[in-house]
A and B are shown apart, each in its own frame.
Chain A
Amino acid sequence: MDTSPKTFQMISIVVLFVFCSTLLPAPALQAAMLGTDSVLTSETDATRTQLQELLQRKDVEQSLREHGIDVQEARARVLTLSDAELKQIQGRLDTLPAGEGAVGAIVGGAVFIFVVLLITDILGFTNVFTFVHSR
């Protein structure tokens, strides 16, 4: 078998290409069928190219994976969001609200925060601790 560097390079490129193409999300409809969102989105959104949308999808998917979510799950989450919805969260996964309940936030905080939240809880401004019963 011929294994010259050039052949090897060619094979690598082909393998890489095939591998990358499987990573692209499969479109739900055939290319010729326009999605329902084509008559739901505004004119400006309609001018966004498919490539832009695809890149945005990949970007959010990548961010989700960096957050410790596995490949399949990250893809499933991205696929079920519309382009407009993805646009809202792109690049903001670290800052958007993430509901977790009180325990996590307290563990991360210092005694100072604990005391402040305790006082504000008692005053009825916040509602962190179950043992505090304000009005």
Chain B
Amino acid sequence: MVRFQVYMWVVLLGWCLGCAPHTLHTQPDWESRPESIKIRNVPAFAQNTHQCGATALASMLCWSGIQTSPEELAPQVYDPKRKGTLQNSLLSAARRQGRVGFQIHGPHVLQKELQAGHPVLVLLNQGLTWWPVWHYAVVCGYEGPNQKIIMAGGKPSKEEISWSKFHRMWLRADEWGLLVLPPDELPATASAPEWLRAVHGLELAGKYEQALTGYAAALQRWPFELAAMMGMANSLYALGRLEEAESTLRQAVKIHPDAGPAFNNLAQVLLEQGKIQAAQQAINTALQLGGPYTESFQETRTAILNRKKSGHSP
């Protein structure tokens, strides 16, 4: 009977611990990279209750060169009902400050970005799988020899924690991390579509100058990327720089002669400059190519034809 009771207690305890994640072995390759990294200029702010999102984001933004504070950011990230901050609010707030929010996953990417000098905002579950205690923190380095992670802000008394402990908490939060970067600073691990999606967020926030910088940086690394050229042209268009938008799109369709949306946008930019003939040519090519945006192409053509009827006058 006593043995049975002991057995039950063990089972209960195991259940409580959420059967501690079994993937503790996935960790950075400490052996081959025993060095330590500590990123400077990541300020730590005192944290108010429920505001770890704003606090962590403020550290990231200050590092990226934007002077701000948790108090200033709180209204942009806080969710009163949840008494906390959702991941997407951090992403959106970063964009609203003209910075690229770039989401990452996993220890290997974390290590690579730290080596590239980029602090990483991480979501941690400090509690248990079935009783989560969500917390945002900023990782600003690691000590290879001791396998320790260095945190900025949050709880100053626990600035360094062991990798295994950190990883347990991170694993329960799906190993999610966020980079907050100036638009000309590419992540070490980004693929072209990932970076371009992130830069597109700046367009959504109406930060066209910064988006332009982000797309230009993309073209430096991936010179033939269609989405980078499209994004660049769209940002130029939004800023009223039609001629530059035109030349960017001309180059895009030269390299990607099958890109219907680029032909459509070229037609629109030409139309707005009063170059009706060329606009018509471009939209016809788009219509020949077809695709999921055919309806939009037809709308553009109608606009061009209407302008033509009204006698070329703008």
Contacts and interface: CB of A to CB of B under 8 A. Distances in A.
B230 A36 contact: yes
Interface in A48-106: 64, 66-69, 73, 76-77, 79-82, 84-85, 88-89, 93-94, 96-106
A6 interface: no
A97 B87 contact: yes
A67 to B, nearest CB: 4
Contacts of B86: 89, 93, 96-98
A39 B262 contact: yes
Contacts of A38: 230, 261, 293
Interface centre among A102, A116, A127 (most CB of B within 10 A): A127
Contacts of B84: 98-100, 104
B169 A126 contact: yes
B145 interface: no
A40 interface: yes
Interface residues of A, number: 59
A30 B268 contact: yes
Given A28-B204, A89-B88, A94-B82, A101 B49 contact: yes
11 contacts: A29-B237, A32-B264, A36-B203, A76-B92, A79-B204, A81-B91, A99-B84, A99-B136, A116-B16, A126-B169, A127-B124
Which 8 residue pairs spanning A and B have beta carbons closest together? A98-B84, A100-B84, A68-B80, A46-B292, A67-B81, A98-B82, A36-B231, A99-B136
Interface of B: 16-17, 20, 47, 49-53, 56, 75-76, 79-89, 91-92, 95-96, 123-128, 131-136, 155, 157-158, 161-162, 165, 168-169, 173, 193, 196-197, 200-201, 203-206, 226-227, 230-231, 234, 237-238, 259, 261-262, 264-265, 268, 271, 291-293, 296, 299-300, 303
